[in-house]
């Protein structure tokens, strides 16, 4: 099963992955390069870490197309993994579904067509464990060249070779080794304390002539050592960059997993998500909300929201539960019972929680960046925008909770967690917003981090507050 990678590597001094690349299917994002002569066309290995955002349709991890009879794709076919090579009529389709949008998967494809046993010619590993249950399984013929490692093909990441079906989500540590069929232990290991599969350094591998290592170190858009598709294996097999920019370089990685919007919690909201589940357009007919993938029960946490289009309907704050209806808007007192269900919200008109709530904040409009500071030590939520905390509040005031929006103690909630939440409070128009839990999809002009050095925020993070990621959760959550 997939896991949210915690910060056990922080304590053990383990390997840290700095960056990932965020792909948006609606923007037709992909990388590509033309392959050279392989070291050995019958053997190769692919390793990549993947965090999905969009489910329910074909989403490509890689593909190539020379002709209708010489093409191949490795995709999430709806929610199963599928590898198809049309030149050899091979196909592997898992029975297993991959539907977790909150966690990182490690995927390894090991190819050795010289093997006498057909099922040994292609091996698929997920989080260090070989996948053996397939809905469809037909293997390449013995000693055949593997399509992705043939000379002169146009190798594409995150796009099918002959069609679009672009990937939507995050990819990091993308490796190809030409000439060797390797084990997953060449790319990862089980943590000795938690038992969770985690990445290891791969810089010592022999990559072979067509091999590459995409660390996403560069932020440029050219096919060179400074680009998003820079190959750091030493081969200089750099990829061309298509429809990606520096803002698509993300610090949400397989060793530090950041919160995003939870696209699985969307039954009533029917929100449209994009940009790695960081941007949302609400459904104009529904008065409800979506939540983040990470909830918290203790500690102090900070996040921002950019209002792309307020539409006079936006509601932003916290909740302790998922939406329970199309008219269950955030802060709806009608749904409150003995404990707080729908949390506290900051509306576009400045109101907090209920329409008649005495705690009011300055109204905001399109283009504003909202700030939220959640203090679960003192049961307080602070809100403001464009660098000014509302109601003359002070997130560092502690027990005095100066100007804070009071919230119920975690022990009084239904779930024992608070989640950042975002939505609408009246129908008729949709709101568009982008969330920033520390790895934003929009450009930041100032670049503030939390006290641990994580995050990229427009405004200063209050002292002792932290961004919502797994390393911070392991230390403060």
Q: Which residue has the higher pLDDT, 67 or 183?
A: 183
Cα-based torsion angle of the residue sequence 152, 158, 163, 168 in order, rounded to the nearest 10 degrees:
-170
Q: How far apart are CA 218 and CA 240, in angstroms?
A: 13
Q: What are the strands of the beta sheet with 240-242, ordered from one edge?
A: 134-138, 90-94, 80-85, 70-77, 59-67, 154-157, 30-34, 240-242
> Which of 302, 222, 244, 268 has the alpha carbon at shortest distance from 465?
302
Among 186-190, 355-359, 456-460, the minimum mean pLDDT is found in 355-359
Whether 261 is in a domain gets the answer no
Task: Based on the fold, state whether residues 291 and 211 are members of the same structural domain.
Answer: no
Do the beta carbons of residue 448 and residue 460 sit within 8 Å? yes
Q: How far apart are CA 118 and CA 113, in angstroms?
A: 8
Task: Based on the fold, state whether residues 105 and 223 are members of the same structural domain.
Answer: yes
Task: Based on the fold, state whether residues 175 and 286 are members of the same structural domain.
Answer: no
**Domain end call among 190, 220, 250:** 250
**Domain end call among 185, 219, 250:** 250
Whether 379 is in a domain gets the answer yes
Do the beta carbons of residue 17 and residue 140 sit within 8 Å? no
Task: Based on the fold, state whether residues 95 and 222 are members of the same structural domain.
Answer: yes
> What local confidence, expressed as pLDDT, does residue 69 receive?
64
Task: Based on the fold, state whether residues 206 and 243 are members of the same structural domain.
Answer: yes
CATH code (residue 230): 2.60.120.200
With a pLDDT cut of 90, the percent of the chain lying above it is: 69
Among 127-136, 372-381, 410-419, the minimum mean pLDDT is found in 410-419
At residue 159 the predicted structure's pLDDT band, cuts being 50, 70 and 90, is confident
pLDDT digits (tens, 9 = 90+) for 245-287: 999 999 999 999 999 999 999 999 999 999 999 999 999 888 8
Phi, psi of 9 (to 5 degrees): -70, -20
Whether 255 is in a domain gets the answer no
Task: Based on the fold, state whether residues 154 and 235 are members of the same structural domain.
Answer: yes
Whether 258 is in a domain gets the answer no
Task: Based on the fold, state whether residues 276 and 241 are members of the same structural domain.
Answer: no
At residue 470 the predicted structure's pLDDT band, cuts being 50, 70 and 90, is very high
Total of domains in the chain: 2
Residue 353 has pLDDT above 60, yes or no: no
Q: How far apart are CA 447 and CA 256, in angstroms?
A: 18
Task: Pinpoint the alpha helices (H) of 85-196.
Answer: none
Task: Based on the fold, state whether residues 61 and 112 are members of the same structural domain.
Answer: yes
Q: Which residue has the higher pLDDT, 284 or 53?
A: 53
- Across the chain, mean pLDDT equals 88
Helix (H) or strand (E) holding 475: helix 470-476
DSSP annotation of 222 reads: S
- Parallel/antiparallel/unpaired status of strands 240-242 and 188-190: unpaired
Whether 338 is in a domain gets the answer yes
pLDDT digits (tens, 9 = 90+) for 287-324: 888 999 999 999 999 999 999 986 667 788 898 888 88
At residue 354 the predicted structure's pLDDT band, cuts being 50, 70 and 90, is very low
pLDDT digits (tens, 9 = 90+) for 408-463: 888 888 789 999 999 887 767 788 999 999 999 999 999 999 999 999 999 999 99
Task: Based on the fold, state whether residues 13 and 135 are members of the same structural domain.
Answer: yes
Task: Based on the fold, state whether residues 113 and 198 are members of the same structural domain.
Answer: yes
Task: Based on the fold, state whether residues 121 and 207 are members of the same structural domain.
Answer: yes
Task: Based on the fold, state whether residues 43 and 178 are members of the same structural domain.
Answer: yes
CATH code (residue 277): 2.60.120.920
At residue 92 the predicted structure's pLDDT band, cuts being 50, 70 and 90, is very high
Domain containing residue 39:
8-250
């Amino acid at each position: 099963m997939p896991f949210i990678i915690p910060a056990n590597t922080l304590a053990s001094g383990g390997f840290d992955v700095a960056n990932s690349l965020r792909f948006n299917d609606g923007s037709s994002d992909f990388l590509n390069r033309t392959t050279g002569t392989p070291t050995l066309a019958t053997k190769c290995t692919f390793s990549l870490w993947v965090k999905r955002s969009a489910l329910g349709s074909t989403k490509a991890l890689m593909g190539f197309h020379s002709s209708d009879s010489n093409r191949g794709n490795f995709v999430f076919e709806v929610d199963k993994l599928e590898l198809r090579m049309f030149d050899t009529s091979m196909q592997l389709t898992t029975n297993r579904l991959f539907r977790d949008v909150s966690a990182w998967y490690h995927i390894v494809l090991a190819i050795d067509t010289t093997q006498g046993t057909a099922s040994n010619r292609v091996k698929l590993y997920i989080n260090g464990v070989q996948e053996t249950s397939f809905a469809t399984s037909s293997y390449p013929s013995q000693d055949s060249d593997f399509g992705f490692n043939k000379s002169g093909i146009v190798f594409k990441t995150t796009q099918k070779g002959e069609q679009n079906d672009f990937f939507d989500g995050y990819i990091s540590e993308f490796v190809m080794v030409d000439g060797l069929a390797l084990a997953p232990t060449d790319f990862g290991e089980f943590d000795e304390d938690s038992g969770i599969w985690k990445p290891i350094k791969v810089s010592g591998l022999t990559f072979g002539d067509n091999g590459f290592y995409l660390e996403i170190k560069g932020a440029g858009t050219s096919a060179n050592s400074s680009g998003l598709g820079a190959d750091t294996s030493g081969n200089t097999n750099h990829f061309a960059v298509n429809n990606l920019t520096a803002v698509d370089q993300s610090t949400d990685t397989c060793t530090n997993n950041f919160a995003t919007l939870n696209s699985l919690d969307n039954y009533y909201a029917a929100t449209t998500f994009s940009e790695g589940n960081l941007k949302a357009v609400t459904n104009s007919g529904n008065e409800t909300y979506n939540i983040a993938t990470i909830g918290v029960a203790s500690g102090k946490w900070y996040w921002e929201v950019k209002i792309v289009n307020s539409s006079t309907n936006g509601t932003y704050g916290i909740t302790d539960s998922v939406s329970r209806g199309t008219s269950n808007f955030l802060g709806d007192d009608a749904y409150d019972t003995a404990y707080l269900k729908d949390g506290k919200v900051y509306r576009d008109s400045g109101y907090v929680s209920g329409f008649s709530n005495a705690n009011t904040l300055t109204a905001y409009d399109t283009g504003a960046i909202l700030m939220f500071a959640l203090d679960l030590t003192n049961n307080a939520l602070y809100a403001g925008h464009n660098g000014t905390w509302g109601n003359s509040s002070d997130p560092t005031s502690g027990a005095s909770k100066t100007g804070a929006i009071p919230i119920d103690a975690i022990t009084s909630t239904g779930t024992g967690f608070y989640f950042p939440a975002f939505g609408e409070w009246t129908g008729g128009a949709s709101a568009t917003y982008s969330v920033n839990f520390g790895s934003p999809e929009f450009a930041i002009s100032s670049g503030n981090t939390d006290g641990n050095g994580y995050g990229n925020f427009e405004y200063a993070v209050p002292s002792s507050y932290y961004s919502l990621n797994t390393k911070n959760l392991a230390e403060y959550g």
